[in-house]
Amino acid sequence: MGDLAKLFNNEIEKEHDNGNGISSSSDDTRKKVLFVCTGNSVRSQMAEALLRTYGGDKFEAFSAGTTPAGIHALTRQVLAEMNVTTEGQYSKHIDEFADIEFDYVIPLCEVAALSCVNITGDHERINWYIDDPIRVLGDDERKLMAFRITRNILKQKVLKFIDENGK
């Protein structure tokens, strides 16, 4: 596809975007998935980026938090180690998605799970309670290892989710 055609297609996609990055185009058959955690800075951001990377042809991935705190630098670092980008992602409050119909809502901690009861629509809820690596104490290397472990756990869960639900 030529450069002009790519630019044209990008402009068409922008016209169908409702501001949340969710296309209003009726020809997109991908399933919408919302990952929710407390700060929307680590776990949910990782899950969103991983699902976009590995299952973006079948799923639209989004993330939100109950108390958004910005994307943690180590989140970006450990994903970049796997060539997974967080480009275009930012920390969002769960209320930004109040009017969106999701196929799956996946809370990543108990606090977020309590907030998910306010999400309307007919969606499947899957709880993935994963410890927050931000809570790990110690030196920088220990913290980095905790983020890598969290990333690896989420990668396994995302790949299994794609395998089980991407048909």
Catalytic residues: 37, 109, 116
CA-to-CA distance for 147 and 128, rounded, in angstroms?
16
Position 103, amino acid: D
Q: In degrees to the nearest 10, what's the CA dihedral of 85, 96, 112, 127?
A: -70
Q: Tell me the DSSP string of 114-145.
A: HHGGG--SS-EE-------GGG--S-HHHHHH
